[in-house]
Amino acid sequence: MTAAYVALEGGHVIEGRGRSPGTARGELVFTTAYTGYEESLTDPSYEEQVLTFSYPLIGNYGVREERFEDDRVHPRAVLAKELTRDVAEWLESEGVPSIDHLDTREIVIDIRDGGAMKCGIAVGDDVTEEDALAELDRCKTMSEHTDIGAQVSVEKPTIHGADNGGPDVALVDCGAKGSIVDSLLEREATVHVLPYDTSVEAIDDIDPDVLFISNGPGDPTNYENAISLVREFVEDTPVAGICLGQQIVAEALEGTTEKMTFGHRGINQPVLDLESGRVVMTTQNHGYTVADPGDHLEITQVNVNDDTPEGLDGLEYDVITRQYHPEANPGPEDTLDFFDDVLGMTDSQTTAAVPADD
C-alpha cells in the first residue's frame, strides 16, 4: 500500500492509503456534498485548500468532463473515506495527491470543533511523516495568499454570446465557475469575462448593463481592485455578486467581512428569504462571510443554521448579491431566478451617491 500522511495544524499526523502521489499543503476544509464531486473538485473557490469529503464513497458515477466547472482540479489535495479508481486516476492525471481509508468523520469533527486549519500532505512509496510535517511548516493561512486571484482568473478578456443581443454583463473573474457564465448565456446576455485586476478603462469600453463580481477563493479584503471597481461603478451601473462577490460588494460599500470557523461547503444549506418566508436549499462553498452590511445594504436572506447573511440588496442603488451559488452546479435548482433578477435590474436603473472613502 502506498504510504500517505496528513499532518494537521498542531502536529498530529494521520495515516491513510495513498491513491495519487505527491506532496501538498493548504487549508483543510470539508464538504457535506454527497453528489457533484466533479463540480466541487473543479470549483476555483477551492484553490489553496485540501478538500475532505464527508460522504463515505466518492466516484460512484464516474468522471464526466461536461460536469467540470473549470479546466483543472483546484484543491491542492483530496481526502476521503473511499475513492473509486476513476476519481483516483483523474486526480493522479491532474497531479493532485489523494488519500483514502481515512476516518473522515473524525477529520470533520476536528474541523468543526477547531476550525479550518493548515495541513500538510505527503503521498508516495518513500514518503514519511516528516515529509507531511515539512509541508505543514510551509503552509500559509488563506489571508496570507494576498494575490490568490491571479491563480484562478482569466489572463485576458473573453467574450461569450457576442451575438445574443441581450444585456452586456461585465463579469469580473475572481475564480468564476463556468455555470455562472452558462446561466447568463441561457438568458441571452453577452458576457464579458474580465481579469480580476481589470481596469476601470476596460469596463468603460464595454459600457456594461451590469457589473458582476464572481465567486472565488480567499480573503475578500485582498481583492482591492475589485472592491475599487464596485465603488467606481455602483453609482451608474447595477452591481451583482455571488459568494466572494457578495463579500467584495459589502467591503466596497462600507460593510465588513470576517472569517468563519469552518465555513459553509455543501449542497444542503437552508436559506430563509426574509420577505417571503420561503426556505430554499442551496449550494455553498465559502469560508468568509459578511459580518456587517453597513448602511448602504440590507440583508434580505439568512442562513437558517447560523443566521449569516445569504442575500443583500442595495438601499439606494441597484445591487443584488447572494452568498450561495444560485447556478446550482452541483445541487438544487431552487434559486435560478436570481439571474432573472440580475438582468431585470437593467430595465430600471437608479442613481445614488457613492459612499466616500475613509
Q: How many domains does one find in the chain?
A: 2
- Domain hosting 251: range is 149-347
pLDDT of 86 reads: 97
Q: Parallel, antiparallel, or unpaired for β 117-124 and 3-8?
A: antiparallel
pTM value is 0.95
Question: Any known ligand binding at 184?
Answer: no
Q: Which residue has the cell 448579491?
A: 321
Looking up residue 43, the CATH number of its domain turns out to be 3.50.30.20
Give yes or no: residues 185 and 321 share one domain: yes
Name the band, by pLDDT with cuts 50, 70 and 90, for residue 347: confident
Closest CA to 285 of 255, 312, 322, 337: 322
pLDDT of 113 reads: 95
- Collapsing DSSP to helix, strand or coil, 228 comes out as helix
Q: Parallel, antiparallel, or unpaired for β 49-53 and 77-79?
A: parallel
Residue 358 in any domain: the answer is no
Residue 355 in any domain: the answer is no
**pLDDT single digits (tens) 316-333:** 999 999 999 999 788 888
Question: Any known ligand binding at 285?
Answer: yes
Question: Any known ligand binding at 287?
Answer: yes
Give yes or no: residues 299 and 270 share one domain: yes
Give yes or no: residues 63 and 209 share one domain: no
Can you spell out the DSSP letters for 98-167?
Answer: EEES--HHHHHHHHHHH-SEEEEEEEETT--HHHHHHHHHTPPPGGG-TTTHHHHS-SS-EEE-TTS-S-
Residue 353 in any domain: the answer is no
Cα→Cα distances 215→107, 232, 271, Å: 26, 20, 18
Question: Any known ligand binding at 153?
Answer: no
- Collapsing DSSP to helix, strand or coil, 277 comes out as coil
Residue 207 in any domain: the answer is yes
Give yes or no: residues 234 and 157 share one domain: yes
d(CA 312, CA 90): 38
Number of separate helices (H) and strands (E) present in the chain:
10, 19
Give yes or no: residues 173 and 322 share one domain: yes
Q: Catalytic residue numbers?
A: 243, 325, 327
Question: Any known ligand binding at 36?
Answer: no
Name the band, by pLDDT with cuts 50, 70 and 90, for residue 353: very low
- Collapsing DSSP to helix, strand or coil, 18 comes out as strand
Cα→Cα distances 358→199, 229, 239, 252, 269, Å: 22, 16, 22, 11, 36
**pLDDT single digits (tens) 60-106:** 999 999 999 999 999 999 999 999 999 999 999 999 999 999 999 99
Give yes or no: residues 317 and 339 share one domain: yes
Which residues, in sequence order, are CB contacts of 201 under 8 Å at separation 6+?
Answer: none
Residue 256 in any domain: the answer is yes
Last residue of a domain, one of 95, 119, 140: 140
Give yes or no: residues 155 and 102 share one domain: no
Question: Any known ligand binding at 114?
Answer: no
Give yes or no: residues 213 and 74 share one domain: no
Last residue of a domain, one of 90, 112, 140: 140
Give yes or no: residues 136 and 155 share one domain: no
Give yes or no: residues 244 and 125 share one domain: no
Last residue of a domain, one of 91, 120, 140: 140
